[in-house]
Amino acid sequence: MANSSPLKRILLCAALLAATALFTALGVWQLERRAWKMDLIDRVDARIHADAAPAPPPSDWAGLSKAKDEYLRVSIRGTYLNNLETEVEASTADGMGYWVLTPFKSDAGFIVLINRGFVPHASRDPRTREAGQRQGEMNVTGLLRMTEPRGQLWRSNEPPSERWYSRDVAAIVAHRGLSDAAPYFIDADSTPNPGGLPIGGLTVIAFPNNHLVYAITWCGLAILSLGFLIFGGVGSFGRRLRLD
Same domain, 191 and 87: yes
Same domain, 192 and 76: yes
Pairwise CA distance, residues 234 & 1, whole Å: 11
pLDDT digits over 149-175, tens only?
876 567 889 999 999 999 999 999 999
The answer to the question of residue 138 being in a domain is yes
Q: Is residue 83 part of a domain?
A: yes
Segment 54-82, tens digit of pLDDT: 999 999 999 999 889 999 999 999 999 99
Same domain, 121 and 183: yes
Residue 228 located in a structural domain: yes
In a domain, residue 177? The reply is yes
d(CA 6, CA 231): 16
List, for residues 195-222, the tens digit of each pLDDT value. 999 999 999 887 777 888 888 898 888 8
Asked if residues 85 and 126 have their Cβ atoms less than 8 Å apart, the reply is yes
Residues 32, 130 within the same domain: no
Do 159 and 224 reside in the same domain of the chain? no
CATH of the domain at 151: 2.40.50
If asked whether residues 120 and 228 sit together in one domain, one would say no
Q: Residue 33's domain spans which residues?
A: 6-44+211-243
Residues 233, 133 share a domain: no
Is 56 within the bounds of a domain? no
Are residue 178 and residue 217 in the same domain, yes or no? no
> Is 60 within the bounds of a domain?
no
Closest CA to 182 of 83, 117, 106: 106
For residue 116, CA distances in Å to 27, 50, 51, 119, 196 come to 43, 21, 20, 9, 12
Q: Is 168 within 8 Å of 152 (Cβ atoms)? A: no
74, β-bridge pairs:
53, 142
Residue 91 located in a structural domain: yes
Domain count for the chain, please give it: 2
pLDDT of residue 25: 92
Q: Does residue 33 lie within any of the structural domains?
A: yes
Cβ neighbours for 188, distance < 8 A, ≥ 6 positions apart: 114, 115, 116, 117, 140, 141, 142, 198, 200, 201
Q: Classify residue 156 as exposed, middle or buried by CB count within 10 Å of its CB (0-12, 13-18, 19+).
A: middle
Higher pLDDT pick, 182 / 231:
182
Co-location of 29 and 77 in the same domain: no
Give the count of beta carbons closer than 10 Å to the beta carbon of residue 140. 24
Q: How far is the C-alpha of 57 from the C-alpha of 182, rounded, in Å?
A: 8
Residues 183 and 146 in one domain: yes
* Residue 234: band (very low, low, confident or very high) from pLDDT cuts 50, 70, 90: low
Phi-psi region of 151 (alpha: psi -120 to 50; beta: other; left: phi over 0): left
What is the pLDDT confidence band of residue 241, given thresholds at 50, 70 and 90? Answer: very low
